[in-house]
């Protein structure tokens, strides 16, 4: 069962929700753009958390600075990278030896630009990275990227443009397309969850 937590990124206090299912493997889940209403209770973020929880993996979703009850103000994806590292370090401090990063929309962009990552981080998953809305030209290669998920009707994360970026990020990563889904996956949450479930695994004992 999820419970509310707070943790610090520098001098700022962030709010989050954690579901402590595994003592050794966890996932940090990031949300869409705060200036467009993105926060940890977003339905796609919740679908990602549910999919990981069904695998027995501890889930941590949190609000970036300035979103929800988290302190601070929006920082154009820069300070938000420190928020991601703070969330990762929270899981590390609890003894996690295998940590995944999963981001939706703006959150996927922030995750991809966060680094260097601690050695415990083993896997990166992107859901609808908004390559037609945010400039991804400064996103470096992503050796930890395992899979990218987008909708066939997503105008912010169009399949063709993602394919071109994926060749530079990590040509070995899978691109999974959810038929008839737009950027918000309305009516297609089950299909997204099933597609993600096929790519989520961990090796550490619980």
Express as a percent the part of the chain with pLDDT over 70. Answer: 99
Instruction: Determine the structural domain holding residue 57 and report its residue range.
Output: 3-197
Q: How far is CA 150 from CA 24, 40, 185, in A?
A: 29, 19, 9
Query: Is 206 part of any domain?
Result: no
Query: Is 203 part of any domain?
Result: no
Query: Is 205 part of any domain?
Result: no
Q: Number of folded domains in the chain?
A: 1
| Pair of tokens at residue 74 | 């929006």
* Alpha carbon distance 6, 56 (integer Å): 22
pLDDT digits (tens, 9 = 90+) for 133-147: 999 988 999 999 999
pLDDT digits (tens, 9 = 90+) for 9-35: 999 999 999 999 999 999 999 999 999
Query: Is 204 part of any domain?
Result: no
Query: Is 174 part of any domain?
Result: yes
Q: What is the CATH number of the domain that holds 72?
A: 3.40.50.1820
pLDDT, position 201: 87
Query: Is 202 part of any domain?
Result: no
Query: Is 152 part of any domain?
Result: yes
Query: Is 7 part of any domain?
Result: yes
């Amino acid at each position: 069962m999820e419970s509310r937590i707070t943790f610090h990124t520098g001098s700022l206090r962030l709010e989050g929700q954690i579901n402590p299912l595994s003592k050794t493997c966890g996932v940090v889940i990031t949300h869409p753009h705060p200036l467009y209403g993105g926060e940890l209770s977003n339905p796609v973020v919740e679908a990602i958390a549910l999919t990981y929880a069904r695998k027995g993996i501890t889930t941590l979703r949190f609000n970036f600075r300035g979103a929800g009850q988290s302190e601070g103000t929006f920082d154009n994806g820069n300070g938000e990278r420190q928020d991601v590292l703070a969330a990762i370090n929270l899981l590390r401090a609890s003894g996690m030896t295998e940590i995944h990063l999963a981001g939706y929309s703006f959150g996927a962009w922030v995750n991809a630009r966060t680094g260097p990552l601690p050695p415990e981080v083993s896997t990166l998953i992107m859901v609808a990275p908004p390559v037609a809305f945010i400039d991804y030209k400064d996103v470096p290669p992503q050796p930890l990227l395992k899979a990218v998920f987008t909708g066939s009707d997503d105008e912010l994360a169009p399949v063709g443009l993602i394919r071109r970026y994926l060749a530079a990020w990590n040509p070995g990563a899978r691109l999974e397309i959810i038929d008839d889904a737009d950027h918000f996956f309305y009516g297609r949450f089950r299909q997204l969850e099933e597609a993600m479930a096929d790519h989520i695994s961990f090796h550490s004992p619980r």
